[in-house]
Amino acid sequence: MTTQSRRVVVTGAAGFIGSHLCERLLALGHQVVGIDSFTDFYERARKEENLEDSRGHANFTFEELDLVDADLRPVLRGANVVYHLAGQPGVRPSWGEQFGRYVRDNVLATQRLLEALKDMPVERLVFAGSSSVYGDAEMFPTKESALPQPVSPYGVTKLAAEHLALLYTKNFGLPAVSVRYFTVYGPRQRPDMAFARFMEALVAGDAIEVFGDGEQTREFTYVSDAVEGTIKAATADVVGQVFNLGGGSRVTVNRVLATLEDISGIKARRKTLPAAPGDPRHTGASINLARERLGWEPRVSLREGLTKQWEWFQAARRRQGIAEAG
Ligand code: UGA
């Protein structure tokens, strides 16, 4: 891809996917402004580490601010493209008292960003959507045109935010696109997510907690594939559209565990817990639209991606061990 250097803004820049996106955009020659508020969903130190590479780059600037409270215009001024990845993640913790946080950081934050952008000459807003909007889909692979019926409060907030983005396109011509990520994994995966938890338990000799029978499936997507699709959504002629970004196949949690045992050479002990409320039984993406309209294709197989995450996880543990010993 030949790229023209752009001024781009990434919200959620210190997060798992956001930090990879920043690095890729910098490598492509863009001027990147990263925004993050370091919410306490997990430790700040890990997010600071996520940002380390980007912070060392001359074309990167960082703004610590909260999308709900801050005056966003100064930081958005002059932006060609805005990637909106900030939000409160995680399907299972979105019940009960936590829901307010999801509404604030997913719905209200998006609305504030959209209001700030609606009179600006931005060329594209790419919204980070979620496979969780589908809930228990009626058809697999699931097309973008399927009726969204989320089964978690989190999914409801991601769907609301996606709708908001697209109705700013309809009403004000803000050129928004949504990409629906399917369970992204790889180096820096959030510590609450399945693969990160499985690896921690494996090396600690703890039992791996499996929700339900482990026969649920996910269309796990490697982070560099998700990032490439996201960047393509910023330039293709697709304003107002929604795209599934899925890894290319559906895999059971049991199969993931068997592959991880194989890669790590460690036999997993398992503990079966009840299936978690809010978790869809299956997710599976039809990626034909992204193939056709974005010219995008996932490239990293589960085995390859899981190996990379395992290697990264071990290197991070070694660094931590050295830091603690020193
Ligand atoms: C993930 C992300 O956490 C969400 O933020 C994102 O929006 C969503 O993907 C998406 O596709 O949009 P989830 O699919 O629950 O949600 O991802 P994982 O936490 O990696 O869980 C994958 C599967 O493993 C689920 O079936 C879950 O029940 C299972 N799991 C997870 C376990 O059996 N044990 C665990 O300790 C964790």
Domain ranges of the chain: 7-191+221-249+284-299
Share of the chain above pLDDT 90, in %: 96
Which pLDDT tens digit goes with each residue over 157-193? 999 999 999 999 999 999 999 999 999 999 999 999 9
Q: What percent of the chain has pLDDT over 70?
A: 99
Q: What is the pLDDT of residues 292-315, one digit of tens each?
A: 999 999 999 999 999 999 999 999
Rounded CA gap, 85 and 68, in Å?
Answer: 14
Strands (DSSP E) found in 37-137: 60-64, 81-84, 124-130
User: Which residues are bridge partners to 222 per DSSP?
Assistant: 185
| pLDDT class of 2 with cuts at 50, 70, 90 | very low
Q: Pick from 320, 326, 324: which is nearest to 49 by CA?
A: 320
pLDDT digit string, tens, across residues 224-246: 999 999 999 999 999 999 999 99
Within 81-193, residue ranges assigned H as helices are: 99-102, 109-117, 153-172
Of 4 and 308, the structure prediction assigns the larger pLDDT to: 308
Contact between 168 and 174 under an 8 Å Cβ cutoff? The reply is yes
Instruction: Please identify which of the residues 134, 154, 181, 185 carries the catalytic annotation.
Output: 154
Can the peptide bond before residue 141 be classed as cis, meaning omega within 30 degrees of 0? yes
The structure's pTM equals: 0.98
pLDDT digits (tens, 9 = 90+) for 98-153: 999 999 999 999 999 999 999 999 999 999 999 999 999 999 999 999 999 999 99
Confidence of residue 320 (pLDDT cuts 50, 70, 90): confident
The atom of ligand 1 lying closest to the CA of 133 is: 12
**Mean predicted confidence (pLDDT) in 53-63:** 98
Pocket of ligand 1 (CB under 6 A): 89-91, 130-132, 181-183, 193-194, 197, 209-211, 216, 218, 253, 276, 279
The CATH superfamily assigned to 7-191+221-249+284-299 is: NAD(P)-binding Rossmann-like Domain (3.40.50.720)
CA of 278 to the centre of ligand 1 (A): 10
pLDDT at 278: 97
